[in-house]
Each structure stands twice: as structure tokens, then as C-alpha cells.
Amino acid sequence: MKEIRLKARAKINLTLDVLGRRDDGYHDLKMIMQSISLYDSVFIKKTDKNNIKLKSNIDWLPSDERNLAYKACKVMKERFNIKEGIFIEIDKRIPISAGLAGGSSDCATVLFGINKLFNLGLTQKELMDIGLTLGSDVPYCIMRGTALAEGVGDILTPLPPCPDMHVVLLKPAISVSTAVVYNGLNLSEVKERPDTEKVIEAIKNGDRDGISKGLSNVLESVTLSMYPELNDYKKRLMEKGANATLMSGSGPTIFGLFYEKEDALRAYNEFKAEGDIKHVILTKIYNTKKRGG
């Protein structure tokens, strides 16, 4: 095999709870992560020159060690003494700095792809261990699907597949610093916290209403106060027929869950026509276990 083409899936959070700050400065989390059908296309190819070359369709995106996908490639080359060169091309479809784990997913996909391309024989657990050295969301992006994430996001428990729903993503032309959001979080002032166990039970029962009622993200208390227009996006999604809305990760992306495709498509078309939000994306819950698809 000389080359491989893979899909790096985005994620949303169905719940996100922050339990407290750790001694190392990070936070202990408890959250339900869910893959969606939105993806970046990642092409990886062996080359004759013993180097790494990365390019993407975003001209300002770093193509060196500031890019997690590049960093993943370098780690794999050094750790497994790969002498051939590697060329990576990423067609970005996942909005950048959006709370959708686009960079982490690209990184995870490069780890997975190099393992396949060079027949390294690493298990998923071994890949996830390498991924954790690159970023806390990377192990989940290797696992994908529906999962409970604890610790800093590194302790993962697979959950039964989330029932099918359609998803409308709204990402404005702003970027949010994850560090700023976490530093601005005062847990003593958080009024609403997720009932994660209740949402897990709803997932197990295929109960879409139970999942929708349980959507909760404590980081909204920070990001939505910084960017009040995000509250307006949530309201508009509900007015256009969403069954539930939430912010993904530390934001700024707001998503709406829709049970019926027609309702999601109508909302998507209306937001696109209104033209005041930079990224309006129609996608759906992704649950297939097959990798590469």
C-alpha cells in the first residue's frame, strides 16, 4: 500500500461537566462525546524523500509542528524509525477553532493512517496512548462513536450507539480560547449541571427525548456570557424546529438536534438564506464502527 485516504470526523458534546481543577492545572471532566458525519478528508502517501510535507486547502493553516497532524506524523516516524517520507493533504471541512475537535481528529486520523500504511500492527489502545501525548481529545477521536470521557478526556468508556438524529451546526466568525473559557469558569456559580447518568440511560434506551432534555454544558456559563449572540443562535434554532440545542466543547459552535430530516433541512436553508452566520452546516449523528468511512 502506497497511499490511503481517510475521513477525520468532527465531534459534539451531548454533556460536558467540569468536576474541579486538578493539581496539574487541568480540569477533571465528565462528558458524553458523539461523532457526527461532518469530516475532513485526509490523504496520506509514502514518498521517496525522508521528510514530512503537509498541505491543506486553508492557506493560513500551519503546515509544520504547529499543526497537530504534522506533529502526529513526526512522532510516528521517530518512534517507529520510518525512513520513507510522508506526504499529508488535508481537505478541511470542519470549521477551525470551533469546539468540534477538527485538529484533534486530523491528528488521530494521521496516527491511524500511518499505522495502516506502514503495517505497524498497533492496537487501538496503543494508538490512543500515543494520541494522548499529543492532545486530550485525540484518544476519543481515534475511538469515535458514542463515549463517556472522564479525567482530562483520556478515560474513555464506549457507550451504545446514540439514536439517529440530524444536526445543524452554527459557527460564527469568532474563535474562542479554550484556556480563557476554563480560566473564566467559577464552578461555585454554575447553576445547571448535566445529569450524565440519566443521559447515558436515555442513550441505552434509544430515547431521543431523554437525550434532548439532558443536553447540558457547564462551559456555556462562560462562553455565552462572552458572546451573547450565541444565546440568540440557540433561540433561533428552537424557533426553527430544533428538538434541543447546546454549545459544543468550549464553543463557539452551537448545534441543534432535529429528529426529522425535513425539519433540519428547512432550518439549514433558512439560516443559509439569512446569511449572518459564517458556517452553517447540516450533518447527522455518526455511529458506524468501520474506520475510514
Active site residues: 11, 137
Sign of CA dihedral 186, 202, 197, 144: negative
Between CA 104 and CA 110, with CA 107 as vertex, the angle to 5 degrees is: 150
Contact 3, 28 (CB under 8 A): no
Q: Are 134 and 71 in contact (CB under 8 A)?
A: yes
Are 48 and 84 spatial neighbours (Cβ–Cβ below 8 Å)?
yes
Give the C-alpha separation, 28 to 212, whole Å: 24
Tell me which residue of 242, 249, 245, 244 sits closest to 268, measured CA to CA.
242
Can you state the angle between helices 102-117 and 124-132, rounded to 10 degrees?
Answer: 130
Pairing type for strands 279-284 and 216-217 reads unpaired
- Binding residues, by number, are 95-105
What is the H or E stretch that residue 103 is in?
Answer: helix 102-117
Rounded distance, CA 27 to CA 31, Å?
12
- Chain centroid to Cα 242, Å, comes to 21
Omega cis (within 30) before 252: yes
114, 170, 179 from 222: Cα distances, Å: 38, 18, 11
* Residue reference for cell 479554550: 178
Which amino acid is residue 279, in one-letter code? H
